[in-house]
C-alpha cells in the first residue's frame, strides 16, 4: 500500500467558521445549529463512540447516537465541556466567540453583561470551563532550542524581592521555542520552587527528550536538565554585560506579555489557585497568534472543546469552599430542540469537504 497523501487545507472563513459576530448569530440561530456544528467538528468522518471507540456501527435519532458496540446513547456534547449544560449552546457559542475576539481575554463579569446572563455564577463557570478547554489543548512538547526561565507573578510588589526567593508571590516557569530570530510555541507553568526537582518536572512535562534548553546560570539547571535528558546551554546573565532580556529575549518577552495581560484584563485580581488557568488561556492565544483571524481561534476553541472532557463545577470552584448552590433556571429545553427534526437550515460548514482535512493542523 502506498502512502496516502493528506490534503492539508486551511479552514476557510465564511464556510468553516464565522467571520463576524453578526455572521455567528446568523449561523447559530438555535441549539440545533450548534449541535450540528459540534457534530461536524467532533466526528468529521462519522460517529466514533467515546466509550468503546466503536466506529461505524450505530444508529441515530435526532443527533443522539446509539452505539451498537456498548449500547450507550451518546450525544455530541457527551463527555465534552458542554456535557449536561443547562445553558443554551447558542449562549456558549457567543461566549466562546467573545472570549476569542477580545484581545486580552474575557472576565466572567464582562461575559455576564454582554450575554445578558442572569447569574454571575453561570458566567464564571462558563469562562472557567472554556479556560479548561484551552489548558487541555496543544500538549505536544516543545522542540529544538528552548529558552527557559522563572519569574514571580502577583502578590504585593515588594521592592528588593524580585528575584528568586520573593515572598508572597507565585513562581512561574516559562519556556519558549527559538525559531530563527522569532519565537515558536510557549509554555507557562506554576512551579513549587526553583529547585532542581521542580524544574526537572517542568522540563519532563513540556520539553521533548533531546531538545536543547537555554537558561541563565541558576544552580538548579545543570541537575534538572541532566535528569530530564535534555541538552543545556548557559547564558551567564549576571556575569555578562548584556541584561537578561538580551541574553534570553524570547522567554522574557513571554513573561512581560503575560503579565501585561493579567494586569490589563483582570487588574491583577487573579487568585493564586486560578493563576495556572489564566496562564493556560494566555498560552492558548500566544501559540495561535498567527491564526489569520479571530474567527479561526473560535473554531480552534470549539474543536478543543469537543475533544476534551467535562469539568464538573465542583472541580472548578476551589476558592468557594461552600458555593452558593442557587439553581440556575433552564433558559432552554434540556432535551434537544424540536428543530432538529425539521428541515436543516443553511449550514455552510456542511459543504463538500470534511473538517478532517484541516484538523490535522491543530
Distances (CA, A) of 358 to 102, 130, 137, 237, 295: 25, 22, 16, 42, 15
The span of 34-42, 46-54, 104-112, 241-249 binding Zn ion (CB under 5 A) equals 46-54
Phi, psi of 188 (to 5 degrees): -135, 130
Binder to Zn ion among 49, 95, 207, 301 (CB under 5 A)? 49
Please name the residue that has the C-alpha cell 496516502.
4
Binder to Zn ion among 32, 38, 67, 183 (CB under 5 A)? 67
Q: Which of 67, 199 has the CB closer to Zn ion?
A: 67
Please name the residue that has the C-alpha cell 439553581.
327
Taking the complex as a whole, the smallest distance from the CB of residue 360 to Zn ion amounts, in Å, to 25
Taking the complex as a whole, the smallest distance from the CB of residue 67 to Zn ion amounts, in Å, to 3
Kindly state whether residue 197 participates in binding Zn ion, applying the rule CB under 5 A. Answer: no
Taking the complex as a whole, the smallest distance from the CB of residue 57 to Zn ion amounts, in Å, to 9
Q: Can you state the percent helix, strand and coil of the chain, rounding each to 5? A: 40, 15, 45
Taking the complex as a whole, the smallest distance from the CB of residue 66 to Zn ion amounts, in Å, to 9
Alpha-carbon gap, residue 228 to 352, rounded angstroms: 46
Taking the complex as a whole, the smallest distance from the CB of residue 199 to Zn ion amounts, in Å, to 42
- DSSP result, 202-260: HHHHHB-TT-EEEE-S-TTHHHHHHHHT-EEEE--TTTSSS-HHHHSHHHHHHHHHHHH
Kindly state whether residue 70 participates in binding Zn ion, applying the rule CB under 5 A. Answer: yes
The span of 69-77, 124-132, 143-151, 251-259 binding Zn ion (CB under 5 A) equals 69-77
Buried b (16+ CB within 10 A) or exposed e, 319-329: eeeeeeeeeee
Q: Which of 10, 70 has the CB closer to Zn ion?
A: 70
The span of 52-60, 185-193, 242-250, 252-260 binding Zn ion (CB under 5 A) equals 52-60
Kindly state whether residue 172 participates in binding Zn ion, applying the rule CB under 5 A. Answer: no
Buried b (16+ CB within 10 A) or exposed e, 130-161: bbbbbbbbbeebbeebbbbbbbbbbeeeeeee
Taking the complex as a whole, the smallest distance from the CB of residue 131 to Zn ion amounts, in Å, to 30
All three cell numbers of 72: 450507550
Binder to Zn ion among 26, 29, 51, 179 (CB under 5 A)? 51
For residues 15 and 348, the answer to whether their CB atoms sit within 8 Å is yes
Taking the complex as a whole, the smallest distance from the CB of residue 63 to Zn ion amounts, in Å, to 16
Taking the complex as a whole, the smallest distance from the CB of residue 38 to Zn ion amounts, in Å, to 19
Binder to Zn ion among 19, 44, 69, 88 (CB under 5 A)? 69
Q: Which of 56, 144 has the CB closer to Zn ion?
A: 56
Estimate the crossing angle of helix 89-101 against helix 108-115, to 10 degrees: 120
Kindly state whether residue 230 participates in binding Zn ion, applying the rule CB under 5 A. Answer: no
Distances (CA, A) of 14 to 18, 42, 131: 5, 19, 25
Kindly state whether residue 54 participates in binding Zn ion, applying the rule CB under 5 A. Answer: yes
User: Using CB under 5 A as the criterion, which residues of the chain lie in contact with Zn ion when the complex forms?
Assistant: 49, 51-52, 54, 67, 69-70
Amino acid at each position: 500500500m502506498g502512502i496516502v497523501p493528506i490534503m492539508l487545507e486551511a479552514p476557510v472563513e465564511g464556510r468553516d467558521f464565522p467571520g463576524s459576530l453578526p455572521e455567528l448569530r446568523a449561523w447559530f440561530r438555535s441549539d440545533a445549529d450548534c449541535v450540528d456544528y459540534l457534530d461536524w467538528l467532533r466526528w468529521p468522518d462519522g460517529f466514533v463512540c467515546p466509550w468503546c471507540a466503536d466506529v461505524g456501527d450505530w444508529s441515530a435519532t435526532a443527533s443522539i447516537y446509539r452505539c451498537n458496540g456498548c449500547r450507550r446513547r451518546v450525544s455530541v456534547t457527551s463527555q465534552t465541556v458542554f456535557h449536561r449544560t443547562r445553558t443554551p449552546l447558542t449562549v456558549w457559542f457567543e461566549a466562546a466567540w467573545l472570549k476569542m475576539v477580545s484581545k486580552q481575554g474575557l472576565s466572567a463579569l464582562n461575559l455576564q453583561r454582554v450575554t445578558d446572563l442572569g447569574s454571575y455564577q453561570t458566567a464564571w463557570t462558563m469562562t472557567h470551563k472554556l479556560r479548561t478547554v484551552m489548558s487541555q489543548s496543544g500538549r505536544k512538547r516543545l522542540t529544538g532550542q528552548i529558552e527557559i526561565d522563572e519569574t514571580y507573578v502577583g502578590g504585593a510588589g515588594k521592592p528588593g524581592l524580585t528575584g528568586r526567593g520573593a515572598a508572597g508571590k507565585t513562581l512561574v516557569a516559562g519556556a519558549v521555542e527559538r525559531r530563527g530570530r522569532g519565537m515558536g510555541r510557549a509554555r507557562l507553568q506554576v512551579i513549587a520552587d526553583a529547585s532542581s526537582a521542580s524544574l526537572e518536572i517542568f522540563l519532563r512535562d513540556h520539553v521533548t527528550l533531546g531538545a536543547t534548553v537555554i537558561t541563565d546560570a541558576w544552580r538548579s539547571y545543570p541537575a534538572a536538565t541532566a535528569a530530564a535528558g535534555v541538552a543545556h546551554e548557559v547564558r551567564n546573565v549576571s556575569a555578562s554585560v548584556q541584561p537578561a532580556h538580551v541574553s534570553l529575549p524570547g522567554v522574557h518577552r513571554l513573561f512581560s506579555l503575560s503579565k501585561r495581560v493579567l494586569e490589563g484584563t483582570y487588574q491583577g485580581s487573579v487568585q493564586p489557585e486560578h493563576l495556572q488557568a489564566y496562564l493556560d488561556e494566555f498560552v492558548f492565544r500566544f501559540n495561535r497568534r498567527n491564526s489569520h483571524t479571530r474567527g479561526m481561534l473560535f473554531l480552534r476553541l470549539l474543536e478543543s472543546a469537543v475533544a476534551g472532557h467535562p469539568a464538573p463545577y465542583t472541580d472548578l470552584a476551589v476558592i468557594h469552599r461552600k458555593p452558593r448552590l442557587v439553581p440556575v433556571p433552564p433558559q432552554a429545553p434540556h432535551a434537544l430542540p424540536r428543530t432538529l427534526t425539521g428541515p436543516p437550515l443553511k449550514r455552510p460548514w456542511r459543504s463538500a469537504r470534511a473538517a478532517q482535512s484541516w484538523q490535522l493542523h491543530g
